[in-house]
Amino acid sequence: MKKLAVSICVALAAFSAGAQNVTVDAVNRPAAKVFAELMEHSGKNFVYSGSLLRGMRVTVKAVDRPIAEVLDMMFRGTDIRYKVRGNNVILSRREKPEPRRVTVNGFVREAGSGEALIGAIVTDSASRAATVANNGGFFSMTLPEGTTVLTVSYPGLESFSTGRIKLHSPLTLNVEMGEPSHTLAEVVVTAAKNRSLAMESSNVGVVNLSRDAIASTPTIFGESDIIKSLQHEPGVSAGVEGLAGMYVHGGDSDENLYMLDNIPLYQVNHLGGLFSAFNTEAIRNVDFYKSAFPAKYDGRLSSFMDVHTRDGSLESHHGSFRLGLTSGSFNLDGPIWKGHTSYSIALRRTWYDLISIPILAMVNHDNPDEKTRGRYSFMDLNLKVNHHFSPRSSAHVMFYYGDDYLKSGSSSDVSVNHDGWFDDSTTRLHWGNLVFSAGWKYVFSPSIFGEITGAYTRYGSSMYYKYYSGERRDGEIVSWSDERIDSDNNIHDWILRADFDWRPVPGHTVNFGAGYTRHSFLPGRSTRSVKTDDMLVTATDSVWSYRADEANVYIGDDWRPCDRWRVNIGLHGSLFSINGSTHAALSPRCAARYTINDRWAAKASYSRTSQYVYQLAQSVISLPTDQWMPILPGQKPQTADKIAAGVYYAPDERWTISLEGYYKWMRNIVEYRDEYYTITPGMGWAARMTEGRGSSRGLDFKIEKSVGKFTGHISYSLMWADRQFPDKNHGRRFPARFDNRHKINIALNWKISKKWEMGAAWTGMSGNRITLPTQCWEDPGLGPWDYDMVYATDINNYRLPFYHRLDLSFTRHTKHGFWNFSIYNAYCHLNTISVYRDYDSNDYQWVTLPDGTAMLYSRPVFQKVGVIPLIPSISYTWLF
């Protein structure tokens, strides 16, 4: 740093007033020397900084001219100015005027379709400022007036450049970027975007996936799936077969918020979690947050997944048709009014119900006395219409319907000489989602973009069970009974929200908004009736419906104080009112990124989240009968505080390496009071539940290669998760159900040739926790074999065996589509999903309990249950 030397030069006046004129003759001489001669002969006192004239050379010629005229000649065309104050002349540098600034805004869309390119990066060459297009493809940046070059880049597409342009007034720049570059594989596009997120975003633990990246993940039954793709991320567990959804950093499945175009979904699984409700063909891209959360999101404790669906092409029609062994899908999009209105429709349906008909016919043919019935099917329908009123204004309507239907049953009729018994049982399960939303997007000013959305969403499930049995003598029915159970569970939400994107000054992107939701819950209504030949008994366990109002506001500022630092500070506030009881929560958020150099970056974050609804699971597998409940009067909102930090290394465009750590504290989480809790009809919900706390901590490591014939990633997670409730486990802390200590993921993609690709994904993780009894005995008061008592020293005292599975996928590209050959669980390892207790009839003994009572004691024998063996599949997708 240069030292500032201030020189005060004083020349005593040796001449009269007429001596103010001076003579000077200098040709390219150092300014400091010429100025020293002027000071000597002018009779003036001069005040200036010693560094002011350093390095400056002048050419000036004047004969007997006033000093002011000579100084004008000397400093003409420079940034030096002078002021005369009495006998003093003060020299200083002119202050440069603040350059006038102009705003450049517009939309970035894909050429040929008009779809928004979310996350496109716009860069200014003059100021080196950059901004990112939001979820509507909108960008805005305020730049200095002058000549510059604007560049727009998006992974997988050729960059767009304006060339040299002169900014002198506000500019609207709508960019259409070319078709995808065929030199980059689909997975490379997403990997490049996630490399940018790792190095540029201030958030820890953020992932972005495109539709093509989801499709590159090995599939089951030929179906690519977003949930399956995210389960390969470090810190995200898949549970086991039969357990639906995701389990993020030791949390439960109900702690993840799934959104379809910003609208929440409560149930996102088909067939026990083997498929999700998100049809890949309808998806544009997905944002997933697991550690640091933007201020916009709240309502869950563990993660947020925002799925953006396709708008449809404004220029031409496109479509695909996929036919697989067990399901098929159809997708079509294109213009309704070319250049103004587009549509997108995606339909998916299984035909397990059709396949089961011949299979069950063969099974029943060999056993005429016993008949087995079964049927299962699911479908998803996505429909979206988008209209552009003008370059600044557009609107859309979106419709989603998902439906699952399961029916099973059996019947038998055993008779000998017209005497015998008969029975018939039927079970029906029906569940699904319905979403309707309408939204309007508008550019209110060059720096403000807004979206207003209204929506209705419904989730419902129902179960029907019937058991009819009787006895026949001499061909006549002498006794019979008819037992029926009918239950349902419903949630209705009416939603209104407004979200805004504001770029007030360079370096700041402010997101703010507000929302209101009207909830209607019917968490459980069950009717059981038993009718016999001489009596009728009916019992109803009905829970009152709950109506709740939820309001929220948020604001967040993504601030770039300099090239190396990026900081995101936000606050989310919410109110939840139910039955006259109101709860409030403030959730601060803060995340920061420091770029060490072009290859290294470090991040840290803190987030608080609140949750007002939760799910109560009553079995070891995920069922649609699991009930969603709001917090009731007397309960507190579930809250979580999470700190996270990470370091990121990108040696070149091919590789990205990350290491992230986190610690999460949870309060007021809810579970049933007892691990084997039996619900008594008429019992209040508050009496069935208990509130407690939990924590999780761990490390996530990932190394990813994104360019070349071989691409993929390897990740490892280390985690501890626990829970503590005053009414469970004697108040002692115990491991959480999804305390998966170790988890390893290996995902590889090999582009063999232009026609062939291969994918492989291996997952291995520590098993889930379950509770097994350590003692059991029969109750003599009820008679032998009537009822056995069990006791467990601790909750979740047993860890299931290590879970591991290899999935393979082969793709053969053709002229008009591609074939997909997939193998789920390639080496046919039957992973244990549960353990049940059996009896060892050779190991009984009498024991004396602490109260002196003698009991017949048996050591339990545990049997493992494994499902889902090797499953091959094949499908063909026709593109048109």
The pLDDT tens digits for 321-338 are 999 888 899 999 999 999
What per-residue string of b and e applies to 167-182 under the rule 16 or more CB within 10 Å gives b?
beeebebebbbeebee
| Angstrom distance (rounded) from CA 178 to CA 161 | 12
pLDDT of res. 220: 67
Output 11 or 486, whichever has higher pLDDT. 486
The SS3 of residue 848 is strand
**Among 87-91, 218-222, 527-531, 708-712, which stretch is predicted with the lowest mean pLDDT?**
218-222
Residue 513, number of CB atoms within 10 A of its CB? 20
* Mean pLDDT to the nearest integer, 90-116: 81
Torsional sign, CA 363, 367, 368, 371: negative
Output 419 or 205, whichever has higher pLDDT. 205
pLDDT of res. 789: 63
Work out the percent of the chain whose per-residue pLDDT is above 70: 85
pLDDT band at 594 (very low <50, low <70, confident <90, very high): very high
Residue 74, number of CB atoms within 10 A of its CB? 22
Q: Tell me, letter by letter, the H, E, C secondary structure of 433-487.
A: EEEEEEEEEEEEECCEEEEEEEEEEEEEEEEEEEEEEEEEECCEEEEEEEEEEEE
Residue 491, number of CB atoms within 10 A of its CB? 24
**Element of type H or E holding 585:** strand 581-595
pLDDT of res. 497: 97
pLDDT band at 479 (very low <50, low <70, confident <90, very high): confident
The torsion angles phi and psi of 25, rounded to 5 degrees, stand at -140, 105
Ramachandran assignment for 600, one of left (phi > 0), alpha (psi -120 to 50 degrees), beta (any other): beta
pLDDT exceeds 50 at position 523:
yes
Give Cα separations from 874 to 170, 753, 809, 810, 848 (angstroms).
55, 20, 10, 10, 61
Q: In the predicted model, what is the mean pLDDT of the chain?
A: 83
The per-residue pLDDT for range 595-629, each reduced to its tens digit, is: 998 889 999 999 999 999 988 766 555 566 677 88
The per-residue pLDDT for range 834-865, each reduced to its tens digit, is: 787 776 666 666 666 666 666 666 666 777 87
- Domain 101-177 top-level CATH class: mainly beta
Strand segments, DSSP code E, in 617-654 are 627-630, 638-649
pLDDT of res. 783: 44
Work out the percent of the chain whose per-residue pLDDT is above 90: 36
pTM of the model: 0.82
pLDDT exceeds 80 at position 543:
no
pLDDT of res. 7: 36
pLDDT band at 142 (very low <50, low <70, confident <90, very high): confident
Strand segments, DSSP code E, in 626-681 are 627-630, 638-649, 655-672
The SS3 of residue 761 is strand
**Among 112-116, 284-288, 571-575, 875-879, which stretch is predicted with the lowest mean pLDDT?**
112-116
> In sequence order, what are the residues at sequence separation of 6 or more whose Cβ sits closer than 8 angstroms to the Cβ of residue 751?
185, 709, 710, 711, 757
Please provide the CATH number assigned to the domain covering 186-309: 2.170.130.10
SS3 content of the chain, % helix, strand, coil (to 5): 10, 60, 30
pLDDT exceeds 80 at position 866:
no
pLDDT of res. 676: 43
* Mean pLDDT to the nearest integer, 543-564: 90
The per-residue pLDDT for range 10-30, each reduced to its tens digit, is: 333 333 333 467 788 878 888
Query: In the chain, where are the structural domains located?
Result: 6-93, 101-177, 186-309, 318-879
pLDDT band at 340 (very low <50, low <70, confident <90, very high): very high
| Angstrom distance (rounded) from CA 477 to CA 370 | 19
pLDDT of res. 96: 67
Please determine, looking at this structure, whether the domain spanning 6-93 carries the CATH number 3.40.50.2300: no
The per-residue pLDDT for range 164-214, each reduced to its tens digit, is: 888 888 888 888 887 544 333 444 444 455 556 667 788 898 888 888 778
* Mean pLDDT to the nearest integer, 746-752: 91
pLDDT of res. 419: 76
Could you give the dihedral angle defined by the CA atoms of residues 214, 220, 221 and 227, in that order, rounded to the nearest 10 degrees?
A: -50
pLDDT of res. 257: 95
> In sequence order, what are the residues at sequence separation of 6 or more whose Cβ sits closer than 8 angstroms to the Cβ of residue 447?
103, 105, 140, 142, 502, 503, 504
Q: Half-sphere exposure of residue 342, counting CA atoms within 13 Å on the CB side?
A: 21
pLDDT exceeds 90 at position 291:
yes
Q: Which two tokens mark 695?
A: 């924590």
pLDDT of res. 593: 95
* Mean pLDDT to the nearest integer, 724-750: 91
The per-residue pLDDT for range 223-256, each reduced to its tens digit, is: 788 888 898 899 998 766 656 678 999 998 899 9
Give me the residues paired with residue 459 across strands: 433, 491
Angle made by CA atoms 228, 233, 237, in degrees to the nearest 5: 65
The per-residue pLDDT for range 432-472, each reduced to its tens digit, is: 999 999 999 999 998 899 999 999 999 998 888 888 888 88
Alpha helices, DSSP H, located in 759-800: none
Please determine, looking at this structure, whether the domain spanning 318-879 carries the CATH number 3.40.50.2300: no
Largest CA distance in the chain: 149
pLDDT exceeds 70 at position 718:
yes
pLDDT band at 677 (very low <50, low <70, confident <90, very high): very low
Residue labelled with tokens 């244990």? 832
pLDDT band at 51 (very low <50, low <70, confident <90, very high): confident
Of 97, 92, 87, the closest CA to residue 75 belongs to 92
The torsion angles phi and psi of 837, rounded to 5 degrees, stand at -95, 130
pLDDT exceeds 50 at position 830:
yes
